[in-house]
């Protein structure tokens, strides 16, 4: 434990005694797993994809990103809820503009146009930063709508004007979701879109939206997924291969399942895995398979437990929270974090159709790890113990 007295009134002192240190520790351990997995998987991938003499290139880059992620997470966690709201609004506008820009000036990889080339920084996927900022902005909009309804009830107003803020704020949230949906569908990135929509529905449910309306939105989402299956070849191919492996190329998932089988309970040992020499995305989408082969079932359970701990601990932390904005924002961030981890691990285990999505803090990817650090920093800031709630939504 850091040697900081409870009487220390500095910014760092107040932060240390108010932040959820258990969640912070779990997130830092996940970052540590990211370091270990890059040490295990990236050299083989770098040599195969980039060429001989580059074994340490991807590892060195990711170590820099992981250090930056840890620093960013702590820095953001120092902010107040009001600061988080302002940061999210600016971040959402900027990330949405850059995500839309990928459709014009972005470059295409594997049939999708999701990345921008930046001087000195390599590539950037702006939609990764859109996710946490979008969650907080939607929470702010829904909280403002509820506050407007409470003011109307206190004033004894009757009827419902068409342009009353009680209606306008939720409509604005749906409008923002519509814009995000159009942009992500155009890239296309249906995995990201699925995470955003599920996160949005979770926030609306917690905000007290009628269950019938939530069900209608869920039906709409299913209809959209069915439409994607019948209109998009790559979506249909992935679903067909999941349901019937003999219908197409299942090389990646076959190798991943072999890796889990070879790892057994305790793994083959660090550096002894073979799947990383075969899978092109062993350091990213299938890093969980590398962990299963080299470190075994027990370590995979530990990784799973860490993700579950962060989500459950965050939800428990919200039980004593009074501010709706904080509750909704943290709910969205936790839903995003947990769902992304689930999709990656379930894809590797062939529980769902394969989907290229990183395992938070563990997979390779600069944009991904920094965006997750931003979201978790926001979560830590929102769930800090506060003596005063005056700055939450002002």
Q: Are 67 and 373 in contact (CB under 8 A)?
A: no
User: DSSP secondary structure string, 79-97?
Assistant: S-HHHHHHHHHHHHHHHHH
* Three-state DSSP state, 360: coil
pLDDT of residue 190: 83
User: Which tokens belong to 301?
Assistant: 């359970």
pLDDT of residue 386: 72
For position 51, what pLDDT does the model report?
A: 62
DSSP 361-382: TTSS-HHHHHHHHHHHHHHHHH
Low-confidence ranges of the chain (pLDDT < 70): 1-5, 7-8, 49-55, 120-121, 156-164, 210, 214, 234, 244-249, 387-394
Report the pLDDT value the prediction gives residue 390, as an integer from 0 to 100.
Answer: 39
Distance CA 223, CA 249 (A): 27
Q: How far apart are CA 189 and CA 201, in angstroms?
A: 19
Radius of gyration over alpha carbons of the chain, in Å? 22
pLDDT reported for residue 168: 87
Closest to 285 (Cα-Cα) out of 339, 362, 193, 209: 362
Q: Is 46 exposed, middle or buried (0-12, 13-18, 19+ CB in 10 A)?
A: buried
d(C-alpha 210, C-alpha 392), whole Å: 26
Mean of per-residue pLDDT scores for the chain: 86
In this prediction, residue 303 carries a pLDDT of 96
Quote the pLDDT of residue 163: 61
Q: What is the pLDDT of residue 47?
A: 74
Tally the C-alpha atoms within 13 A of residue 122's C-alpha that lie toward its C-beta: 8
Q: How far apart are CA 394 and CA 388, in angstroms?
A: 13
């Amino acid at each position: 434990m850091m040697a900081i007295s409870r009487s220390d009134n500095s910014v760092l002192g107040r932060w240390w005694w108010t932040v959820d240190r258990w969640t912070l520790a779990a997130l830092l351990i996940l970052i540590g797993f990211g370091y270990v997995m890059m040490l295990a998987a990236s050299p083989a991938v770098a040599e195969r994809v980039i060429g001989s003499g580059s074994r340490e290139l991807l590892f060195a880059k990711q170590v820099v990103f992981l250090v930056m992620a840890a620093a960013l997470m702590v820095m953001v966690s120092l902010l107040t809820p009001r600061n988080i709201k302002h940061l999210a609004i600016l971040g959402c506008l900027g990330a949405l503009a850059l995500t839309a820009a990928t459709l014009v000036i972005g470059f295409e990889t594997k049939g999708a146009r999701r990345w921008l080339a930046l001087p000195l920084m390599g590539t950037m996927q702006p939609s990764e930063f859109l996710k946490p900022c979008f969650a907080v902005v939607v929470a702010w909009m829904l909280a403002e709508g509820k506050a407007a309804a409470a003011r109307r009830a206190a004033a004894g107003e009757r009827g419902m004007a068409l342009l009353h803020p009680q209606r306008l704020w939720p409509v604005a949230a749906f409008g923002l979701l519509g814009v995000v949906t159009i942009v992500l569908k155009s890239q296309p990135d249906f995995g990201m879109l699925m995470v955003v929509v599920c996160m949005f529905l979770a926030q609306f449910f917690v905000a007290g939206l009628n269950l019938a309306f939530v069900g209608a939105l869920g039906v709409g989402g299913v209809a959209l997924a069915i439409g994607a299956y019948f209109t998009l070849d790559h979506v249909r191919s992935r679903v067909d291969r999941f349901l019937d492996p003999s219908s197409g190329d299942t090389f990646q998932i076959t190798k991943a399942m072999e890796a889990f089988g070879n790892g057994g309970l305790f793994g083959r040992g660090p550096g002894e895995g073979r799947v990383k020499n075969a899978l092109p995305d062993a350091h990213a989408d299938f890093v969980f398979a590398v962990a299963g082969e080299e470190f075994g079932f027990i370590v995979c359970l530990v990784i799973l437990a860490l993700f579950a701990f962060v989500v459950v601990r965050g939800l428990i932390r919200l039980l004593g929270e009074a501010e709706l904005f904080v509750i909704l924002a943290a709910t969205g961030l936790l839903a995003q974090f947990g769902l992304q981890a689930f999709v990656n691990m379930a894809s590797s285990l062939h529980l769902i159709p394969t989907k290229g999505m990183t395992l938070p803090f563990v997979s390779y990817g600069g944009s991904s790890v920094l965006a997750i650090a931003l979201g978790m920093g926001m979560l830590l800031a929102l769930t800090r113990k506060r003596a005063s709630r005056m700055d939450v939504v002002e």
